[in-house]
Amino acid sequence: MMTDVTTPATGPAGAESPADPADLLARPPVLPGLTPEAVVFITGGSGAIGLRAAAVLSRIGARVAIMARSPERVAQAAADAAHEGQVLGVAGDIGVPDDISRAVTATVGTFGRLDALVNLAAVGDSGGALDDLTVDEIDTVLRTNLRGALLLAQACARPMRARGGSIINVASIGGHRVTPDGWSTARARRR
């Protein structure tokens, strides 16, 4: 399912970056190198960080595609994030190669190119002890956090090759600091 929610673009804001993060939408930051026509693809787009990033980018006039697993949540997130830019919502799971391909193709097909990827999508383990984990739990974490992130970067790099672009993978602190019940993020992100 794809949801295209658009509002008229007005261009980048000229205000300097606000000191209070809650004020980002009222006075969005000036982001060097980001032009009003930039196309940014964000995974984990229905989560708090993804939704805020999409809203700020849209506010400064970027064209944004967000991907999240739930069709309902991605449609709502696309509507919530739409400000002066265009926001395309694409339901899909970065752990599924066909979903990645479909989402990147929809982004490039809708906006004509891709300038940046912000990969926020990740899953955690169940929080249980290592010796209680099932093979399915381990596979889910590695499929999304490691394999999915690599396949996503590969798929996004293809349309960026001619013009250049940026790939930003956001990781949890768990990749550097392991807690007794937090094995998965450290393993998936450190290797």
Q: How far apart are CA 117 and CA 141, in angstroms?
A: 21
- pTM value surpassing 0.85: no
> pLDDT at position 45, please?
87
Q: Give the domain 2-8+32-190 fold.
A: Rossmann fold (3.40.50)
Q: Which of 51, 103, 46, 119 is nearest to 81 (CA)?
A: 51
Q: What are the average pLDDT values for consecutive 10-residue runs of the chain, which has 191 residues? A: 34 40 56 76 91 88 93 92 86 96 97 94 75 86 92 96 90 66 51 42
> pLDDT at position 42, please?
95
Six-digit token pair at 111?
Answer: 């906006």
Q: How far apart are CA 165 and CA 160, in angstroms?
A: 5
What ranges do the domains of the chain cover? 2-8+32-190
Beta carbons of 85 and 73 less than 8 angstroms apart: no
